[in-house]
Structure 1
Amino acid sequence: MMRMRRKVLCLDWDKRTVRLLVARVGSGRMTLEDAHAHRIPAEVNTDDPAALGGVIAAAMAAHRIRRRDVIVDVPRDKSVIARLPLPPTPIAELPDVVRFQAVKELPFPVEDAALDFVTLTADAERKTATEVLLAAVRKDVLGRIRETCAAAGLRPARIGLRPYANLVSVMHLPGMAERRVLFVDVGPALTEINVVHGGRLAFTRAANVSVPVLGDDDRWQSSRLVVVGGGGEQDAISGAIHDLVVEVVRSLQAYRATESNVVIDNVIVAGHTGVETELAQALEKRLALVTDLFDPTLPLGITGDRGAELRGFSAVLGLAWGLSTRGLLELDFLNPKRVVRRSETIIRRARLLGMAATAAAVGAAALTWSAYRAKAAELADVRKGMEDLRRVVRDARDLTNRSAEWDEWQYDAVWLDHLMILSRALPGPGREVIIRSLVCDSSSSSIRVDLIATNRERVKQFVDVLADLRAGGLPDEPQDSSRPKLYRVEQGSWVEGNTAEPGFSGSTQVMLRVVDVEEFHSPAAVNARKAERERFAREF
């Protein structure tokens, strides 16, 4: 089936800049559509949700961004991160165990925090874990993020962690997924220093270093604009670079104290303050390590000259990349991991209560009246538990029905995607081939295209491209031969003349059968879904 990719808005800010990114994600891919950075006026207090929200709303209005749901992140200095060794713990019980262990790690009450975690060490065969990475954020911090988004007319759908978003960005850089990378994200007041390796966040810390931002004015700036150098004393810049190098060296020493004999393979510097190039040179000289500037253009499939413009977008790009693949963005303080399948817990309790009720019924005749009343009270508890279970089952049945409706909608709402594919497959649209009419029919899973062309070879080229397409592919991309065909294509007869368009010699009709939609609507598939719903209704 050809899945519809969704559009998302990702948001990140620091003391001086708001970054907005719009992308289309899904099926393991992320396509960048728009990215803008906007300088926060000096008089705006970024800790004031109303004031900062107004800046974000103005930036969105200026760039005509009309999304409501937004993905945001929490900076490193607003979070507590710790590696927790655990006794072998069943995966399903990790949320409760991690919360219990967090009491000893947090500098504030666990009731005041939102907790999430990433499993670091696990035994797949025994389905247990022995080490996790704990991330915690105070609820009042999350509250200010929500208030800021609300002031901008936005609603957070996920709240991630900035170091983890940067990790996802590093994983998408060519050749970096399995290397041990020191990643330095430079900000005007706070620089985040991370070590990532093998898809895991091995070390992270925030360093408070004030960096003069070159081009420091209050004008609009976007990813399409190069920031022109403004004020800032060279001494201040040199001092900031010296302090940053010192903080990076300290961070490496702290990391090596936790993991001895480790070797850093690469250093990557990100940020948009204007000092990144000089900092990269200073780090390469001080550490004697290959040091590069963050450049996402290759994995994004865009021209290399935009690398400098996107150097400060590592976190929002990581948020977008993380949403392209299920489970990649593992930390979400808005929807943290909890003990799963509460319905199973209720079912187990109901079974135990049922056994107690059976024992009570067998021995009731020999009990005294007071004992009978006690058992009657237990039976009432059983009935209450069973009623709770029935409500859970009814909710599950409703969810199953809505899921079936969603499946139906997915297969009946794909025509816009197919129209896009047809437009990209046309050779010389408007000049050599013109579509006169196009009919999409859900009942027959077909698309009928009536067209005219300058010659029949152009029609053959159009038909051949469509016939070779594979599910999930596009006409101007390499096709994955392991995937099923997207269409079954039938071409009608070529009719010479009668086109009423100068230069067009004939007309024909092309009939496309959308394979996955046809299979979904086949009698066998419809009957299988109906049987599954009936089975669920009988069993529950």
Structure 2
Amino acid sequence: MASLQDILRIGAVALGIDIGTHAMKVAELRRTGRGIELVRYGIASTPPGAVANGMILDRAAVSRALRMLLREAGIRRRRAVASVTGQNVLARILRLPPIPEDEVKQAIRWEAERHLPFPVEEAVLDAQVVGEVTGDGQRQIEVLLAAAPEAVALTCIETVEEAGLQVEAVELSALAMVRALALREIPGVVAMVNLGASTTEVAIVRGGVPQLTRTIAEGVEGLAGGGDTAIMEGALDAVVSQLRRSFDFYRVQYGRAQIDQILLCGGGARAGGVDRHLALEMEIPVTIGTPLEGVRPGPRLDADAVDRLAPQLVPAVGLALRVCA
């Protein structure tokens, strides 16, 4: 039986906006009596040179392209959740002595100085208590720290607002990916990998909770277009090398022996047999990730078309789920 809270939220609508270096993705979701539906979506090229390394460099060009994308997708909702990404954007699980929840954010600010690759004074921080552990007879709380440069977040907000929208929230793209792909329970430790043209986002997840995220400055640009084979294999090899570094860091920092599965999404997920290549190189099972196991296409959408594009829509769907899940 549906809870009163779920009944009251029926009809809730949310819009997620994912602005990447090479493509922009939007997804509008609605909560219905039968679950969450993907009502409308759109994908369009990002203006060349307008976004690099997660930073929007040409706000006017991006906002114009975003307005056009929303119009073509038939999306009229004016409130949105947007994402930030980049090598200075990160999330980590930190362990602290038991303290009152209202003191966590202050304590985490001191801890953040040890993890951020830039001054904490220039960061936007968020923290959430996600669990509790006991080690060596001592109880500790686990806190998920999320951090991004304030300049990156502000530029994202200003760009989306210039497209005529109101920003409800800004979230790490990697955390939106986790929300969309963790709609079903996944056992063990899972590496969720958003493979883009010029960057790759990694989130290592245990029990539905992200343990760490990382943005890798390597992607698979040109793979889908059938470029030079040696160049494409070289790009994949660079991604594999960085994934190994990320997995090794996780094992050392968190004392976990193995990654049980890789869930692959993003524009490069279904290009050129990437999943098979990664499975062979990493010696870990690889599955194409889709948000459609918890979100179904609306009746007006072409289900086959949505299925083909679903890996690209993962972060945008995850952003919208922040509001209507």
Cα shift readout 1:260-306 (whole Å, capped 9, x = no counterpart):
35332221111113664522101211233221111333332355674
Cα distance in 1 for partners of 2:103, 2:33 equals 30
Identify which of 61, 65, 78 aligns with 1:68: 78
Q: Find the aligned partners of 2:114 and 2:248 in 1 and give their Cα distance.
A: 25
In structure 1, the residue matched to 2:321 is 321
Could you say what secondary structure the match of 2:121 adopts?
A: helix
One-letter identity of the residue aligned with 2:210: L
CA distance in 2, matches of 1:105, 1:247: 19
**1:141 match:** 152
- Which amino acid letter does the alignment assign opposite residue 38 of structure 1? A
Separation of aligned partners in 2, 1:24 and 1:266 = 30
Matched, 1:206 2:215: yes
Q: Distance in 2 between matches of 1:268 and 1:140?
A: 31
- Unaligned segments of structure 2, at least 5 residues: 134-138, 298-302
1:196 pairs, out of 180, 186, 205, with 205
Judge conservation of contact 2:90–2:213 (CA < 8 Å) in 1: no
Letter in 2 for 1:112: E
Shift of 1:16: 0.6
The reply to whether residue 268 of structure 1 matches residue 263 of structure 2 is yes
Residues 61 and 291 of structure 1, relative CA distance in 2, 3 Å threshold: same
Q: Report the secondary structure of 1:56's partner residue.
A: helix
Q: CA deviation at 1:320?
A: 2.4
Task: Please give the secondary structure, in 2, of the residue aligned with 1:55.
Answer: helix
User: What is the TM-score of this pair, normalised by structure 1?
Assistant: 0.52
Paired residue for 1:296?
291
Deviation sequence 1:294-329 (CA, Å, 0-9, x none): 13333323556743211111111222233234xxxx
Query: Could you list the per-position Cα deviations for residues 197-234 of structure 1 after superposition, in whole angstroms to 9, with x for gaps in the alignment?
Result: 102112321211142245xxxxxxxxxxxxxx645223
1:34 partnered with 2:43: no
Q: Aligned match of 1:87 in 85, 97, 101? A: 97
Q: Specify whether residues 244 and 300 from structure 1 end up closer, same or farther in structure 2 by C-alpha distance, changes over 3 A only.
A: same
Instruction: State which of 165, 168, 172 in structure 2 corresponds to 1:157.
Output: 168
CA-based RMSD: 2.6
Q: Which residue of 2 aligns with 1:243?
A: 238
1:91–1:129 contact (8 Å) kept in structure 2: no
Residue identity in the other structure for 1:262: A
Cα contact 1:192–1:205 (8 A) shared by 2: yes
Rounded to whole Å, the distance in 2 between the matches of 1:58 and 1:20 is: 12
Q: Counterpart in 2 of 1:8?
A: 14
Do residues 54 (structure 1) and 60 (structure 2) align? no
Aligned in 2, Cα 1:321/1:273: closer, same or farther, shift over 3 Å? Answer: same
Name the amino acid aligned to 2:45: R
CA distance in 2 between partners of 1:193 and 1:295 (Å):
16
Tell me the SS of whatever aligns to 1:238. helix
Alignment partner, residue 280 of structure 2: 285
User: Aligned ranges for residues 443-458 of structure 1 at < 5 Å?
Assistant: none
Distance in 2 (alpha carbons) for counterparts of 1:289 and 1:65: 39
Q: Is the Cα contact below 8 Å between 1:184 and 1:269 reproduced in 2?
A: yes
* Conservation of the 8 A alpha-carbon contact between 1:76 and 1:163: no
The residue matched to 1:310 in structure 2 has which SS?
A: helix
Is this contact kept in 2: 1:266–1:290, CA < 8 A?
A: yes
SS state at 2:273 partner: helix
SS in 2 for 1:301: strand
Match of 1:130 in 2: 141
Structure 2 counterpart of 1:150, one-letter code: E
- What are the equivalent positions in structure 2 for 1:413-428 lying under 5 Å apart? none
Contact 1:119 1:129 in 2 (8 A): no
The aligned length equals: 305
1:432-443 aligned within 5 A: none
Quote the offset at 1:80 in angstroms.
Answer: 3.9
Match of 2:28 in 1: 22
2 CA distance for matches of 1:250 and 1:102? 22
Aligned-pair CA distance for 1:71: 0.5
**Structure with the bigger percentage of strand:** 2
Contact 2:42–2:70 (8 Å) recurs in 1: no
> How many Å apart are 1:104 and its aligned residue?
4.5
Counterpart CA distance in 1 for 2:270 and 2:213 is: 21
Q: Which runs of 5+ in 1 are unaligned?
A: 215-228, 326-540
Distance 1:249 1:27, change over 3 A: farther
Structure 2 residue 243 is matched with structure 1 residue 232: no
Q: Is residue 180 of structure 1 aligned with residue 189 of structure 2?
A: yes
C-alpha deviation, 1:77, in angstroms: 2.1
Could you tell me the TM-score, scaled by structure 2's length? Answer: 0.84
Q: Distance in 1 between matches of 2:125 and 2:164?
A: 26
Q: Percent identity?
A: 24
Q: Specify whether residues 76 and 230 from structure 1 end up closer, same or farther in structure 2 by C-alpha distance, changes over 3 A only.
A: closer
What is the distance in 2 between the residues matched to 1:146 and 1:277?
Answer: 35
- CA contact 1:90–1:129 (8 Å) conserved in 2: no
Give the secondary-structure state (helix, strand or coil) at the position aligned to 2:180. Answer: helix
Q: 1:148 is aligned with what amino acid? A: T
Once the two structures are TM-superposed, the CA of residue 59 in structure 1 deviates from its matched residue by 1.0
Matched residue, 1:113: 123
Bigger share in helix: 1
Q: Distance in 1 between matches of 2:210 and 2:153?
A: 22
**Compared CA separation, residues 276 and 256, structure 1 to 2 (3 A):** farther
**Which protein has the larger Cα radius of gyration, Structure 1 or Structure 2?**
1
Note the alpha carbon deviations across 1:412-470, whole angstroms, 9 max, x for none.
xxxxxxxxxxxxxxxxxxxxxxxxxxxxxxxxxxxxxxxxxxxxxxxxxxxxxxxxxxx
3-state SS, counterpart of residue 307 of structure 1 = helix
Paired letter, 1:157? E
Q: Which has the higher contact order (CA 8 A, sep 6+)?
A: 2
